[in-house]
Amino acid sequence: MTKLSVNINKIATLRNARGGNIPDVCQVALDCEHFGAEGITVHPRPDERHIRYADVFQLRPILRTEFNIEGYPSPAFIQLVKSVKPHQVTLVPDPPDAITSNAGWNVEKNMEFLKETVSDFQSVGIRVSIFVDTNLKNIEFASKTGTDRVELYTEPYASTFAVNREAAIAPFVEAAVLAHKLGVGLNAGHDLNLNNLAYFHFSIPWLDEVSIGHALIADALYLGLEETIKRYKAQLQ
């Protein structure tokens, strides 16, 4: 079964726009779980423009499903994750001022850093996923870091899906097959939505998890959160 992890960063962005605690990030996370999400994802950034470090500490003891923290492994981020001990940490190569994750790691270039970071997190019982593109060389080197999983950066798939879905999915299937062959688990995320998710899942049936935030929260404005999560989960059947 492919798990749906809901990224709640956009809920925090809305809260932060006015100050106070509306909407309540913790309550929305619990609602997502209640409505069927199998996980919650957050991506705290150094400027705390959406999810704050304090949110991460507040979420950990109340969540009943899988908790995934993603971000660039700076010293402060590493300390946060090791203190909170989520089920999974996803390593992304974002610079501090990035609007959103827009590229995967050059794993070969950062091999020693990633190997040390993966080992550091695994030593305290945290599963590790490395954010990568479909370059097969990156998949091969990722497996050598000892990572438990890779997360495929799916924006290229989403941006060309409407034009030619077979061509859009082809490099992702190739990358997924290689990861599977190497014994590396597989996650995916970025711009997956109700239009393209089912085909992605159908084409890669051994997908462990998808992390979806922006599109899902936008759909919830029209459909409501409960109905939206229901529809996303239906794409993964």
More confident residue, 12 or 104: 12
Rg (CA), the chain: 17
CATH number of the domain to which 135 belongs: 3.20.20.70
Residue 104 in contact with residue 131, Cβ under 8 Å?
yes
Query: How many domains is the chain partitioned into structurally?
Result: 1
Domain that holds residue 14: 3-234
Do the bridges between strand 88-91 and strand 127-132 make them parallel or antiparallel, or are there none, so unpaired? parallel
Q: Which of 33, 50, 66, 70 is catalytic?
A: 70
Continuous segment of H or E residues that includes residue 121: helix 111-122
* Known catalytic residue at 70: yes
The mean pLDDT value for 197-213 works out to 97
Amino acid at 43: H
The span from the CA of 5 to the CA of 179, in Å, is 21
Which candidate, 80, 181, 75, places its Cα nearest to that of 126? Answer: 80
pLDDT confidence bin for 100, thresholds 50/70/90: low
% of residues, the chain, pLDDT over 70: 97
pLDDT in tens, 113-161: 999 999 999 999 999 999 999 999 999 999 999 999 999 999 999 999 9
Phi first, then psi, for residue 105 (nearest 5°) are -70, 145
* Known catalytic residue at 43: yes
Q: Which of 33, 50, 190, 209 is catalytic?
A: 190
Q: Which of 33, 43, 50, 66 is catalytic?
A: 43
**What is this structure's pTM?**
0.95
Provide the pLDDT for residue 187. 98
**φ/ψ bin of 179: left (φ > 0), alpha (ψ from -120 to 50), beta (otherwise):** alpha
* Known catalytic residue at 227: no
Placement of tokens 């959406």 in the chain: 50
Placement of tokens 């995934």 in the chain: 68
